[in-house]
C-alpha cells in the first residue's frame, strides 16, 4: 500500500491519542519507519501490523480500529488532502457512489504501483445502493464499511451500511448495502 495509508493511520492515532501512543503502536508493531511518504509504496504487511498493534495498544477490537480508520480516511485524509477531488467525485452521496468504480480506476493511473480494490455498484435506488468490493487483500471489510459511513458524514447524510455478502463466507467479493 502507498505510504498515504500508513501516514493516515499515524495521523489518526497521534491526533486521537497522542504521540506517545503512536510510539507505543509503532514499537508494538515492530515497524521501524519514522516517516511515511504518501506516494511511496510500502509492503501491505506494514499496514496490517500497524492496525493490529493499534488494536492491541488501544485495547480495541481490530474491526473497530479499521472502521474508525475508514471514517478518518474520508473525513480527514480525503477531505483535507483531496478535498476538491472528492467534491469533483459527485455533487451528492449517490452521485459519488455511482462514480466510485471509475474513481478508483483513475486512482490506479495516478498511483501506478498501486493495486487498488475494484468497486462496482448495482441496484441504484433513491435511498440506497449496493456497493460490490473486489480486493486481493483480506480483512479490510470493516475499513470499507468505515469509508462508506465516512462518505455519509462527508455529505452530511445519515447512512446505514449492511454487509450483505462476505468474502469470508466463500464468495468472490463483498457486498455492502448502503442505505440513506
Partner 1 sequence: MQEKSFSFSEERFNRLFPFYFLLDKNLTVISLGKSMSKISALSAGDFFFSNNYIKRPVVDCETYDALCALSGQLVIIGSKKQPNLLLRGQLDQFDGDCLLFVGTPWFAKVAQLKEHDLTINDFSIHDSIVDLLNLVQTQEITNGEMRELIQKINQQATKLRLREDELQATTNRLSLLIANIRDPLLMEDENQKIVFMNDAFRKAFGLDEQTDKYFGESGTEITKMIRGAFEDSDQYYKSVERLTESNEATYNEVVKLKDGRVFTRDFNPVTINGKSKGYVWKYVDITDSKLQESQLSAQKQFYEQILNRIPADIVVFDSKHRYLFLNPVAIKNPELRKWMIGKDDEEYCRYRNRDQSIAKERRRIFNNVVASKEQLEWEEQLLDPDGNFQYHLRKMFPVFDENGELEIMIGYGVNMTERRKIEEQVRKSEERYRSIFDNSQALICTHSLDGKIIEVNKAAVKTLGFTTDELIGSAIHSLLPESRRAEFDDYYLESIRKQGKAEGIMVAIDRNGHDVYLLYQNFLVPSNSEEPYVIGFAQDITARINAEVALKKSEEKYRGIIENMHLGMVEISADNTVLYANNSFIATSGYSSDELTGRKINELFFANESIDVANGAIERITKGKSDAYEIQVQNKQGEMKWWLVSGAPKMDMEGNYMGSLGIYLDITPQKKMEIELRKAKTDAELSAYSKEMFLANMSHEIRTPMNAIIGIGRLLGKTELAAQQKYYLDIIENASGNLLVIINDLLDFSKIEAGKVTLEHIGFSIGKITENVVHILKHKCEEKNLIIKYQCSDEIEPVLIGDPYRINQILINLIGNSIKFTDRGEIKIRCSVENDSDEQQSVLFEVEDTGIGMSEEFLSHIFDKFTQEDEGITRKFGGTGLGMSISKQLIELMGGTIEIRSLKNIGTHISFRITFPVGRKDDLPSAWNQKPDTVILHGKQILLVEDNYMNRVLASTILTQYGANITEAEDGAKAIEKLRSRKFDLILMDIQMPIKDGIEATKYIRENLDKTTPIIAMTANAYKREEERCLAIGMNDFISKPFEEDKFIYQIAQWLGAATTNTVFPQHENEVDSPELFDLSKLISTSRGDEQFITMMLQMYVQEIPKAVEELENAAELKDFIALGSIAHRIRPSVLSYGIITLEKSLEKLERLNEEFLDEEESMEITRNICSTLNSVVASFRLILEGKNLSDLFSSVK
Residues that bind partner 1 (CB under 8 A): 4, 7, 35, 37-40, 81-85, 87-91, 95, 99, 102-103, 106-107, 109-111
The C-alpha angle 161, 170, 61, rounded to 5 degrees, equals 50
Query: Which residue carries 488532502 as its cell?
Result: 81
SS3 of residue 132 by DSSP: strand
Least distance from C-beta 179 to partner 1, angstroms?
Answer: 23
Which residue bears the cell 441496484?
123
What does 10-67 look like in DSSP terms, one character per residue? HHHHHHHH-HHHHHHHHHHHT---S---TTSB--HHHHHHHHHHHHHHHT--HHHHHH
Decide whether 88 or 124 has the Cβ nearer to partner 1: 88
Distance spanning both ends of the chain, measured CA to CA = 31
Smallest distance from partner 1 to CB 89, Å: 6
**Shortest Å, Cβ 162 to partner 1:** 27
Q: Tell me whether residue 64 or residue 121 sits nearer to partner 1 (CB atom).
A: 121
Read off φ and ψ for residue 160, nearest 5 degrees: -120, 135
Joined together, the cell numbers standing for residue 103 give 474513481
Closest CB 65 distance from partner 1, rounded Å: 24
Give 47 or 55: the residue with its C-beta nearer to partner 1.
47
Radius of gyration from C-alpha coordinates of the chain: 16
Smallest gap from residue 103 Cβ to partner 1 (A):
7
Q: Which of residues 35 and 125 has its CB atom nearest to partner 1 in the complex?
A: 35
Residue 40 or 43 with smaller CB distance to partner 1:
40
Amino acid at each position: 500500500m502507498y505510504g498515504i495509508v500508513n501516514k493516515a493511520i499515524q495521523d489518526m492515532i497521534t491526533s486521537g491519542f497522542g504521540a506517545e501512543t503512536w510510539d507505543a503502536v509503532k514499537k508494538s508493531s515492530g515497524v521501524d519507519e519514522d516517516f511515511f511518504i504518501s506516494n511511496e509504496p510500502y509492503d501491505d504487511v506494514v499496514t496490517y501490523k500497524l492496525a493490529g498493534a493499534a488494536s492491541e495498544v488501544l485495547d480495541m477490537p481490530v474491526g473497530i480500529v479499521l472502521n474508525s480508520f475508514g471514517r478518518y480516511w474520508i473525513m480527514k485524509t480525503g477531505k483535507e488532502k483531496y478535498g476538491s477531488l472528492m467534491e469533483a467525485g459527485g455533487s451528492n452521496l449517490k452521485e459519488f457512489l455511482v462514480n466510485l468504480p471509475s474513481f478508483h480506476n483513475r486512482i490506479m493511473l495516478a498511483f501506478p504501483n498501486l493495486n487498488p480494490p475494484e468497486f462496482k455498484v448495482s441496484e441504484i435506488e433513491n435511498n440506497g445502493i449496493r456497493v460490490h468490493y473486489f480486493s486481493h487483500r483480506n480483512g479490510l471489510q470493516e475499513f470499507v464499511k468505515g469509508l462508506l459511513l465516512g462518505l455519509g458524514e462527508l455529505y452530511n447524510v445519515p447512512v446505514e451500511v449492511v454487509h450483505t455478502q462476505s468474502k469470508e463466507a466463500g464468495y468472490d467479493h463483498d457486498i455492502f448495502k448502503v442505505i440513506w
